[in-house]
Amino acid sequence: METYESLLTAITPPAGTATRPILNPATGGTVTAAPVHTVEDLEAAVEAARAAQPSWAALSHQERSQVLLDTADAIDRSAEALAQLLSREQGKPLNGPNARFEVGACSAWLRATASIELAPEVVVDDGETYAEVHYRPVGVVGAIGPWNWPMMIAIWQIAPSLRMGNTVVLKPSEYTPLSVLALAVVMNQVLPEGLLTVIAGGQEVGARLASHPAVGKVMFTGSTETGKAIVRSSADTVKRLTLELGGNDAAIVLPDADPRAIAQDLFWGAFINTGQTCAAIKRLYVHADIYDAVCDALTDVALATPMGIGTDEQNLLGPLQNKQQYDIVARLVDAAKESGAKVLVGGNPDPRQPGYFYPTTLVADIGNDNPLVAEEQFGPALPIIRYTNLDEAIELANGLDAGLGASVWSSDRKQAHRIAERLQAGSVWINAHGRINPMVPFGGTKQSGYGLEFGVAGLKALGVPQVISG
């Protein structure tokens, strides 16, 4: 079992290694120094992964699954230390759907992935022809992770890759390398050597990972622009890709919904991780008949939800993780205010407060073409758009290039399902938003990316299909 202090020691770079300080976004203080790995470090990691992969792939699915289960147990034993580090580096509070939740999700996801059955598929058996599909390992998987859910999304990439017999070289975000380095320290207490290596480098390391001829697949979660760059970098080696890119998720509330009954779920659908979630509600369309009631109910929830330093046990919302994201949120809210939109709560950051705290902000009476609606804010600011015609609301919801998630809120589930079928998003939830499940495929449409994660589909995406006939 690791303690917070022992984790810091374990991820401390050796003497002579280039480092840079990682700051706590809630206080501005230094958490510790992170290594600055180089392209040469990446080359060594890829070579080690390539050397380790054949013996790992030679094990059965059941044997590899047992290793994943043992690794999940190791994470559980060090869960509190990992959560403490995550809270300090990323900024998210310990409690609520935040740091402790994220670490718990890591072990739970490993166990769920280990339990998925993936037998050969018989596609023809007519007495004359017999054919079945098998899935073989890709080889070395390159994973590139984000800063918003650094540990959990790393596991989304690692777990199915290892289960399928691949090895993994992972580059975390430059904003949150410590969390992923520490997670790897814990996992590598169980995993055979060479299976998982974290390279905490910069943009040049990511570009080389995406173009490396020994890397058979790249998994990436992050911005659409970076995803496009990865597509370009991977083209010469015709890599397989899974890209989960930016989202600007719409939620449509029908006039038969109960504002008070849905307020909590609506709020957390938008503000989980202080709004720093790809598949969070970014645009809320509410029918005019209940518009004011929904605004009032959401305001009450916002005022009752504490924001502050993540390691203070009472807080449920934290800071923006970095100044760049803080500036984006501030710019978009300012544009909304200048347009005449009505700020129901928030929108007034305290310049004297340390850290990147932006108050929980709800903006009403706003036009659909306002930048706060049209651009992904990725923070604690939610525009609430009034509509009267449902067809027009669906058209507005579908009007952007993003298509990661969406949701419909109604007391009539059949009607909600009919509307869901008309929404252009990879996942559509009914009376919820962003509730992912390790057995349910997840992926985007349009410029929110392509490829599926989770469940059987996610395992297949980490394999190479081979058809055997005869």
Q: Strand order in 361-364's β-sheet? A: 342-345, 361-364, 381-387, 281-287, 249-253, 405-409, 427-430
> What one-character DSSP code corresponds to residue 119?
P
Task: Show the tokens assigned to 368.
Answer: 């659909």
Contact assessment for residue 172 and residue 182, using Cβ atoms and an 8 Å cutoff: no
User: Smallest Cα–Cα separation from 440: which of 458, 467, 422?
Assistant: 458
- Return the half-sphere exposure (C-beta side, CA atoms, 13 A cut-off) of residue 98: 31
Contact assessment for residue 39 and residue 208, using Cβ atoms and an 8 Å cutoff: yes
Task: Show the tokens assigned to 111.
Answer: 């166990």
CA 232 vs. chain centroid, Å, equals: 22
Question: What is the secondary structure of 396-423 as a DSSP string?
Answer: HHT-SSEESEEEEE-S-HHHHHHHHTTS
Q: In degrees rounded to 5, what are phi and psi of residue 27?
A: -125, -20
Dist CA 266 CA 178 (whole Å): 32
Pairing of strands 405-409, 249-253: parallel
Catalytic residue among 102, 174, 278, 295: 278
Task: Show the tokens assigned to 325.
Answer: 């994201």
Task: Show the tokens assigned to 306.
Answer: 């504490």
278 is catalytic: yes
Dist CA 388 CA 337 (whole Å): 23
3-state secondary structure of 199: coil
CA 125 vs. chain centroid, Å, equals: 41
- Number of CB atoms found within 10 A of residue 292's CB: 13
User: Smallest Cα–Cα separation from 203: which of 183, 225, 184, 182?
Assistant: 225
Q: Strand order in 449-450's β-sheet? A: 196-198, 167-171, 140-144, 215-221, 240-244, 449-450
**CA dihedral sign of residues 17, 30, 7, 324:** negative
> What one-character DSSP code corresponds to residue 37?
B
Catalytic residue among 174, 244, 376, 453: 244
User: Smallest Cα–Cα separation from 454: which of 165, 152, 186, 173?
Assistant: 152
Q: Which helix (H) or strand (E) holds 211?
A: helix 203-211
Name every residue whose Cβ is closer than 8 Å to that of residue 454 and which is 6 or more positions away in sequence. Answer: 156, 436, 437, 438, 439, 440, 441, 442
Give catalytic residue positions: 244, 278
